[in-house]
């Protein structure tokens, strides 16, 4: 049975997070608040659950999902190597609204879709999301909406779109940014912004010491 659980009430929060983590450990889907928009999430290493996540959104394998992490240190086990540009951007913007595309570690047995050896990583700036991530570990996450529809900034908006396809909805109030994260691709010769969001090109360029135009050219 689908449940919408209130994480804004301190008396309910611990029980709500436990319900969500239990669901994820059982291979089910949850919706959780982040600083950008609400996300639909599964254990990143449960390939069946990730496939159900893609199906719930109406997405194919050609649109792989990203991964949320609960700490900076987690990424060392997920990537082939951490570029210096990634270190700089992580120090500047994590936790926060910046996603980084990097080469994944070849040994990983997950299946996030047709990602061609890459993975998109982010550490969110939201206490509920971080609590869940620290309990579960890396989670496959995409915006909590049907593909092509507006991203949800509340648990209720996510529920209207996804309904019973998700086991637990964690209600953490309205997302602060109400916009999807900025995505920076670090897999090429030079960094490129694939999607500009709350973290602007000028801010990214200032950290990397490059011309903002080079990030979008």
Q: How many domains does the chain have?
A: 1
| 116 occurs within a structural domain | yes
| 183 occurs within a structural domain | yes
| 217 occurs within a structural domain | no
Output the domain CATH number for residue 61: 3.90.870.10
The answer to whether the predicted template modeling score (pTM) of the entire model surpasses 0.85 is yes
The pLDDT tens digits of the residues spanning 38-97 come to 999 999 999 999 999 999 999 999 999 999 999 988 998 999 989 999 999 999 999 999
Instruction: Report whether pLDDT(20) > 90.
Output: yes
| 216 occurs within a structural domain | no
Domain residue limits at 162: 3-210
The pLDDT tens digits of the residues spanning 86-139 come to 999 999 999 999 999 999 999 998 999 999 999 999 999 999 999 999 999 999
Kindly state the percentage of the chain with pLDDT values over 70.
Answer: 100
| 79 occurs within a structural domain | yes
Instruction: Report whether pLDDT(217) > 90.
Output: no
Three-class HEC string of the chain: CCEEEECCCHHHHHHHHHHHHHHHHCCCCEEECCCCCCEEEEECCCHHHHHHHHHHHCCCCCCCCEEECCCHHHHHHCECCCCHHHHHHHHHHCCCCEEEEEEECCCCCCCCCCCCCEEEEECCCCHHHHHHHHHHCCEEEEECCCCCCCCCCCHHHHHHHHHHHCCEEEECCCCCCCCCCEEEECCCCCCEEEECCCCCHHHHHHHHCCCHHHHHC
């Amino acid at each position: 049975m689908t449940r919408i659980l209130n994480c804004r009430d301190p008396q309910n929060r611990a029980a709500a997070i436990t319900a969500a983590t239990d669901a994820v450990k059982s291979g089910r889907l949850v919706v959780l608040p982040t600083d950008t928009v609400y996300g639909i999430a599964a254990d990143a290493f449960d390939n069946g659950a990730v496939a159900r996540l893609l199906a719930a959104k109406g997405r194919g394998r050609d649109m792989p999902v990203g991964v949320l992490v609960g700490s900076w240190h987690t990424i060392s086990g997920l990537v082939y190597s951490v570029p210096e540009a990634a270190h700089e951007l992580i120090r500047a913007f994590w936790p926060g609204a910046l996603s980084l595309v990097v080469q994944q570690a070849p040994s990983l047995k997950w299946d996030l879709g047709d990602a061609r050896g890459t993975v998109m990583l982010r550490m969110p700036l939201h206490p509920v999301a971080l609590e869940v991530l620290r309990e579960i570990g890396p989670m496959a996450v995409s915006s909590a909406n049907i593909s092509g529809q507006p991203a949800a900034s509340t648990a209720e908006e996510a529920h209207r779109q996804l309904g019973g396809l998700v086991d637990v909805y964690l209600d953490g109030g309205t997302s602060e940014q109400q916009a999807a994260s900025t995505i920076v691709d670090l897999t090429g010769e030079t960094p490129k912004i694939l999607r500009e969001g709350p973290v602007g090109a000028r801010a990214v360029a200032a950290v990397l010491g490059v011309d903002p135009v080079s990030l979008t050219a």
